[in-house]
Structures are given as C-alpha cells and as structure tokens.
C-alpha cells in the first residue's frame, strides 16, 4: 500500500542509515525485480557511496557516487503493492520473498522484500532522471489551491479517478484518496470539474492534512508495509472509511458504502459525501 506517506516514511528512516555509507556485497535472489541492465546495475552499485535518499511521488531515489569515479547515478525503487525496503542487522532472519540484499559499510544490510513482486528497481543516469519522471503530476505539497483548482477545471472524470492518477497529482493511492474525500465531504464519483469553490478548497486542504497526519503516524500498515527500520506503521488505527464497508461513519454513524471506480474500491459515507455536491450536516 505504499502511497506518499509510506514512501516518505521509508525515505526518512533509511536516510540516516544509508547516507555516507558504501554498498558492499550485493545479492540478487530475484534478479527479475531489476528493470534495467543487470550488468550496469551491479557495476554501478559495487562500492558506491550513498549520497542521498529522496522521494518523487511514490518512487524512492538513492543517489549513488560510484566507487570508480564515474558519473553519479540513481538507484530508483518503486514498492508496488507489497514492497518493503528496510535496513536491518545482517543476522536478522531472511524472510521469504526477500529479493535483494545489499551489505553496507556500516555493517547493516539494506533489504528489498516484495511478496507480490509488483515492485521494481532500476538504475538511472542523472541525465535520464527528468525524462523518467516527466509524466508525473505535481507533488501535493508543492502546489497551492489555485493550481489544484486548475487541475480539476474542465475534467469530467470522477474526482477519485483523478486523485489516483499519478500523472495528474503524484502520491495519493487508494487509501488516502478515499480518506481525503471523506474529510472533505466530497463524493468520490463527482466529476472533478463540477466541484464548487468550497469543495475544491475542502478537498485540497483535506488531502494535505490526511497526508501530513499519515506521515506523522509513520504510514498505514494493512499487511505488508514496513518502515525503513522494518517496523509496521501506525496510521491504520486512524482510518475513517477505507476498508470499513458496513461500519458506522465516524461522523454521522451512517453505514459506510463501497463502490468501484477505476477498478478500485471506493469507500465513502453516503450522508457526509452526497453525490449532489451539497454537504450534509452531521448529527
């Protein structure tokens, strides 16, 4: 379920354990997770120093300074649905579905584990970074309300579909799009372009508030997600409607409903998120 808050949590957890360290032995138990040339990948990582750990949307970037003085490059990781990227002691049990283990000069190991194998990694030269991420929409924390309103303007697609579209706005996934729509009191199927000024403002604020709170909570662990230290997150206890079909809405006690949009479950409260666009008052 790694969405922006999970990926950000992983990045923050890995940064102090990786930056300044060198990569030593690399073990690829499942080479298929590497989507660029294996030879280049291995050569670039061997002995490289990690100079930075950052995030772009749901992608993790490890900036590498190769040992042989070649140009710096980036180890790019996407966690897919069940990916885990974490540092641990070398003696920690090697869990099933661990695909990559990199030994670090600190003595720790960086491990990539992914039961469903929707995750992937690749090596990118610095010059290829812009093209690789060119299609991504903006970061939610780097736009203002006016820009968000412009993104929605004229769009007839259900607003939840757009929130899930990484080329429109990067970082949201199925959990936080549903949570943000609930907090904003906006029905997930409403055409984005039909949202009024008040709704746009509520939604923009809600999505940033939800993302911030989830980062503070170290992300949501439904089952597989782990922090950069290999620990579960804590925000799963704060979810309002996601995966709560049939349970009472936390605001008005109406049963939470589920509909399918863009092939994904959309959980919402039919009373707090009316499809008319008018916001119902809670009891």
Partner DNA sequence: CGTTGAACCTGTTTGC
Partner DNA sequence: TGCAAACAGGTTCAAC
Q: Minimum distance between the CB of residue 22 and DNA, rounded to whole angstroms?
A: 30
Closer Cβ to DNA, 135 or 197, answer by number: 135
Distance of closest approach, residue 62 Cβ to DNA, in angstroms: 18
Catalytic residue among 72, 139, 264, 274: 264
Binding-site member from 28, 67, 81, 280 for DNA (CB under 7 A): 81
Please indicate whether residue 63 is annotated as part of the active site. Answer: no
CA–CA distance, 182 with 53 (Å, rounded to integer): 32
> Given candidates 247, 253, 265, 275, which one binds DNA under the rule CB under 7 A?
265
Tokens standing for residue 102: 């990199």
CA–CA separation, 78 and 2 (whole Å) = 9
Binding mask 34-53 for DNA (x = CB under 7 A): --------------------
CA distances from 251 to 23, 136, 201, 207, 269 (A): 50, 34, 20, 18, 9
Cα 129 to chain centroid, rounded: 19
- Look up 120 and say whether it is catalytic: no
229 is catalytic: no
Measured between alpha carbons, how far is 100 from 81 in angstroms, rounded to an integer? Answer: 17
Least Å distance, CB 162 to DNA, is 7
**What's the closest the beta carbon of residue 226 comes to DNA, in angstroms?**
9
Q: Is 157 in the site for DNA (CB under 7 A)?
A: yes
Distance CA 87, CA 96 (A): 16
How many Å apart are CA 174 and CA 32, to the nearest integer? 26
Instruction: Select 237 or 281, whichever has its Cβ closest to DNA.
Output: 237
Tokens representing 270 are: 């039919």
Residue 180 CB, shortest distance to DNA, in Å, is 13
Binding range to DNA, per CB under 7 A, among 64-72, 102-110, 204-212, 215-223: 215-223
Give dist(CA 60, CA 79) in Å, integer.
8
Q: Does 221 bind DNA (CB under 7 A)?
A: yes
Q: Is 140 in the site for DNA (CB under 7 A)?
A: no
Do the beta carbons of residue 45 and residue 34 sit within 8 Å?
A: no
173's enclosing H/E stretch is: none
Q: Give every CB contact of residue 231 below 8 A, 6+ residues apart in sequence.
A: 218
Smallest gap from residue 152 Cβ to DNA (A): 9
Judged by CB, which is closer to DNA: 101, or 169? 169
Tokens for 33? 């997770």
Return the structure tokens found at 40. Answer: 């280049």
Active-site residue 264, yes or no? yes
Query: Do the Cβ atoms of 260 and 30 come closer than 8 Å?
Result: no
Q: What are phi and psi of 250, to 5 degrees?
A: -65, -15
Tell whether residue 82 is a contact of DNA (CB under 7 A).
yes
109 binds DNA (CB under 7 A): no
Does 2 contact DNA by CB under 7 A?
A: yes
**Contacts to DNA by CB under 7 A:** 1-3, 32, 57-58, 78, 80-82, 96-97, 115-118, 155-158, 161, 164, 166, 173-175, 192, 220-225, 243, 261-265
């Amino acid at each position: 379920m790694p969405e922006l808050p999970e990926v950000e949590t992983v990045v923050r957890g890995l940064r102090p354990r990786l930056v300044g360290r060198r990569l030593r032995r690399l073990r690829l138990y499942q080479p298929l997770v590497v989507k660029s040339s294996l030879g280049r990948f291995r050569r670039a990582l061997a002995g490289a120093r990690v100079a930075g750990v950052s995030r772009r949307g749901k992608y993790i970037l490890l900036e590498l300074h190769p040992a042989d003085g070649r140009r710096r490059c980036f180890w790019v990781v996407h966690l897919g649905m069940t990916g885990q990227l974490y540092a641990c002691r070398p003696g920690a049990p090697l869990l099933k579905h661990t695909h990559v283990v990199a030994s670090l000069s600190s003595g720790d190991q960086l491990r990539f584990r992914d039961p469903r194998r929707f995750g992937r990694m690749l090596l990118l030269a610095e010059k290829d970074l812009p093209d690789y991420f060119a299609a991504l929409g903006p970061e939610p924390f780097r736009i203002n309300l006016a820009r968000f309103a412009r993104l929605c303007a004229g769009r007839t697609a259900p607003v939840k579909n757009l929130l899930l579209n990484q080329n429109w706005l990067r970082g949201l996934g199925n959990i936080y799009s549903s949570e943000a729509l609930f907090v904003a009191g906006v029905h997930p199927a409403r055409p984005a372009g039909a949202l009024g000024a008040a709704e746009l403002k509520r939604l923009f604020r809600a999505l940033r508030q939800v993302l911030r709170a989830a980062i503070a909570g170290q992300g949501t662990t439904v089952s597989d997600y782990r922090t950069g230290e290999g620990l579960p997150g804590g925000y799963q206890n704060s979810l309002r409607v996601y995966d709560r079909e049939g349970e009472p809405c936390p605001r008005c006690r109406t049963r939470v409903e589920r509909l399918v949009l863009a092939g994904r479950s959309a959980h919402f409260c039919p009373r707090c998120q009316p499809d008319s666009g008018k916001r119902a008052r809670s009891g």
